[in-house]
Chain A
Amino acid sequence: MIPTLGRALLHLGLGAAAAGMIAGIFAGARRSEEAASWARTLTLASAGAFALATLLIEVALVRHDFSVAYVAEIGSASTPPLIAAVSLWSSLDGSMLFWAFILAVYAGIFALRSRGTEPARTGWALAVQLAVLLFFGLLVAGVSAPFDRVFPAPTDGPGPNPLLQNHALMAIHPPTLYLGYVGLAVPFAMAVAALATGRLDAAWTRSLRSWSLWVWAFLTLGILLGGWWSYEVLGWGGYWAWDPVENASLLPWLTFTAFLHSLIVAERRGRLAATSLVLVIISFLLTILGTFMTRSGVFNSVHSFTQSPIGPIFLGFLTLTLVGCVVLLAARVDALRIEIGPRPGSATLLSRDSAFLLTVLVLLAFAATVLLGTVYPLVNQAITGGQVSVGGPYYETMTIPLCAGLLGLMVLGPALPWRAATAAVTLRQLAPPLGVGLLVALWAWVEGLDRPWVLLTLALAAAILVVSGRELWQLVRARLAKGDPAWQAPFLGLAAAPRRTGAHIAHLGVVICAVAISFSSSFKHETELTLTPGASTVWQGYTLGFLRADKLVEPHRTSTRAHFAVFAGARDLGVLVPALNLYSRDARSIGTPAVLHRLAEDLYLSVVQVDAREVTVRAYLQPGVSWLWLGGLVAVLGSLVAALPPRRGAGRKEVSA
């Protein structure tokens, strides 16, 4: 029953999407309100159909209905219900359906929110989103076919990939990442609509920015959770491996961040408006490229699937979208009427304009570097036939200077005025933050920290704190000058300018991340210890005592656990239990590390080998990793704050940045 119903729902969703796309194109070309209304209704219908189809497959997974092809491929009778539900995105076919589902839901929300807006733009935007949905829906219905019927239905299945059953993060990392990744389709559709109608006005820009900030927040959170998953689950002691699939998620993040900054210049100075639209389009194209990289099996990655017909199909879609976007830009960018911001004026080299321009440039260079590094093994193989690796050391060498440049721009940008900065103004603005930065670096150096990049990061971080703090203080001071009481002024001041506040909070988050990354990569300690039961050893100020090893048998896996008592001097820090998990599906064990999160550093234990006689464990001491997650969350918070509307009654409308 479920296979038939599921297939029917998919076809319904596809039909509604196709009809809605046509209605949207009609609405865009003829500026027809009625066509736009039809497009909205059909989008909602399509979203509903895809949502029901996804619900149906979840029901099939949880109930272990092996007559459904996807469940037969990925489910097993011994899988717990929560893991069964989560296994929707553990394999290619299910994750394609999940992609389509999120895309459809976003399109539905867009349709609901677009009531009352201009029909031509809404029509084009919906048409674009439905076109993408049509592609993914056809993939799901035709090639992936999770709803195919398996006859006779088997009584059991192999179960999901063991690596994906190890940790609760599997339940939240993919959905969050998808919400950001797939969500890029909405700003993309809006940018295409602006180009198609030839107009970019304040209302559309406000809507575009609002959507973009939410999508950026989810994307950042998704990438953060991915790093956390790599750290907590994979057991190799790191959080970012520059794996092609990880790079695939970073690329659109970089270009989208560049877009958020160029948008500010567009609204404030009337420049880079066309560039902003181009950046949105590039971000979405990178999303499609990233999806191709993940699923085509062409790249050497931890995440990669085997090569299948889906690879060439995706490449075809990517090519089509690339060509379409290039042609659209070439044909429509000159005719674009930009109705945001003043008429563009000139600016000198030393100005906020210049700083923003350089920010966009550096972020794009960063993205280009990551893309080049990821694609280079293929290039080398195509040209010479040989194989070459591009791993962590390359990316670190190339991106560390770029990151330093970005931190420097985070000092310059908010400090310098728009249009032109005289020498006097520059000195006055930059002296305090750079002075503080220098003092902090000197103090750290005196305290024994002698790594140059770490010192530079600390100096720039301190400078950014001063600059951002000063900016936020201006807002609070304005309220105090107006006569507001001191305990109310901060809230009123910041609430009156949520975009500026949010931006500086996001910068603060980025700074925390930069310092955390700098410390955790420069001052990491690791060692390998072998202990017998009852023995203990002292390492880096921690006393690790191996208590015992035991086996925990669950229906889907057997865990061999090693219990360690951890002390820092005399202080009892509890028991860490790293384990080796053996899943019924695989012959080799998968390790689950145990991490003790402390304020300044993490103690990380990963089992190499364990039996009743002794245990060999890899111990890592990673400073600052908890601050990385904290910084990321702060950046996400900043983005959400920036998406808030300014508090009414503040008087003037907020001016950006």
Chain B
Amino acid sequence: MNWKILVAGIAICTPLVWVLATGFGHDPHAIPTVTLGSKASDFDLVDLSGQRVHLADLRGRPVVINFWATWCRPCVAEHAELQAAARTYQGRAVFLGILYGDDPALAREYLARVGSVYPTLVDPAQHTVVDYGVAGVPETFFLDGQGVIVHKVSGAVGAAELTAVLAELVR
């Protein structure tokens, strides 16, 4: 029995198998979030009806920022939940939508059809998209009263999660 080969073989194979095993349970396609706990980037954008919105002016209340697009199916699906939450927390939290990779005319048409209780902002050069580290849509950011990002959801956000996070924030 050649002990050198045995030891060398086990020494090489064990870390390899261990590393591969640790991969289970992690989604390799998941987008990491590094901005949690840091100050959200400021923006000064115009919404679909021409009103100017400046994030720094909204200090003092929690803010929910939802990046969406009309061609994105999960965005359409989560629209109702966001509208309901916006109505529930009216006055206590600010909801904003930001259009991602879409034509403002299409967005206006869509919102005229389904309605919206909060404004959707247009980001012409999509700088805010990059500032928030948005990879795809939908993505929803939850900011506390001081403008710090406390929670982020990639993908459609459900009513339960919205309620849970907002209840925490408005306290």
> Are chains A and B touching directly in their complex (CB below 8 angstroms)?
yes
**A interface residues, Cβ below 8 angstroms from B:** 292, 296-301, 304, 307, 311-312, 315, 318-319, 322-323, 325-327, 329-331, 333-334, 375, 377-379, 381-382, 386-387, 587
Cα distance A322–B10 in the bound complex, in angstroms: 9
Q: How many A-B residue pairs have C-beta atoms within 8 angstroms? Tell me.
A: 74
**A contact residues around B24 at 8 Å (CB):** 296, 298, 307, 311-312
Interface string of B25-53 (1 = CB under 8 A from A): 01111101000000000000000000000
Is B5 on the interface with A (CB-CB < 8 A)? yes
Residues of B in contact with A (beta carbons under 8 Å apart): 1-3, 5-6, 9-10, 13, 16-24, 26-30, 32, 71, 73
B12 to chain A, nearest CB (A): 9
Q: Which residues of B contact A331 (CB under 8 A)?
A: 1-2
The 17 sampled A-B contact pairs (Cβ below 8 Å) are A296-B23, A297-B28, A298-B26, A298-B28, A315-B20, A318-B17, A322-B13, A322-B16, A323-B13, A329-B2, A330-B1, A330-B3, A334-B2, A377-B28, A378-B19, A379-B19, A387-B32
Is the CB–CB distance between A330 and B6 below 8 Å? yes
What's the dominant secondary structure at chain B's contact region?
helix
Distance, CA A379 to CA B20, complexed state (A): 8
In the A-B complex, list the 5 residue pairs whose CB atoms are closest, starting with the nearest: A326-B9, A298-B23, A300-B28, A330-B6, A382-B22
B2 lies within 8 A of A300 (CB): no
Contact of B19 among A307, A329, A375 (CB under 8 A): A375
Nearest CB in chain B to that of A299: its residue:
B28
B6/A326 in contact, CB under 8 A: yes
**Cα A297 to Cα B24 with chains together (Å):** 8
Q: Which of B9, B18, B23, B29 is packed against the most chain A CB atoms within 10 Å? A: B23
Residues on B with beta carbons closer than 8 Å to the beta carbon of A297: 28
Which residue of A is nearest B28, CB measured?
A300
Compute how far the CA of A325 lies from the CA of B22 in the bound complex, rounded to whole angstroms.
Answer: 23
Kindly report which residue of chain B lies nearest to residue A297, judged by CB atoms: B28
Contact assessment for A375 and B16 in the assembled complex, using a CB-CB cutoff below 8 Å: yes
List the B residue with the shortest CB-CB distance to A388. Answer: B32
When the two chains form their complex, are residues B16 and A326 in contact, meaning their CB atoms are under 8 A apart? Answer: no
Which of B2, B21, B27, B71 has a CB less than 8 Å from the CB of A333? Answer: B2
Residues of A contacting B16 in the complex (Cβ-Cβ under 8 angstroms):
322, 375
Find out whether the CB atom of B9 lies under 8 angstroms from the CB atom of A304: no
Q: A315-B17, A587-B73 are in contact. Are A327 and B6 (CB under 8 A)?
A: yes
**Of B18, B22, B29, B73, which one neighbours A300 at CB under 8 angstroms?**
B29
A333 to B13, CA, bound (A): 19
Q: How far is the CA of A587 from the CA of B26 in the complex (A)?
A: 27
- In-complex Cβ contact of A304 among B1, B2, B28 (8 A): B28
**A386-B32 contact in complex given A299-B23, A312-B24, A378-B19, C-beta closer than 8 Å:** yes
Residue pair B17, A322 in contact (C-beta under 8 Å): yes
Give 8 A-B pairs besides A298-B24, A322-B9 with Cβ atoms closer than 8 angstroms.
A297-B28, A312-B24, A318-B17, A322-B17, A330-B1, A330-B9, A382-B18, A382-B19
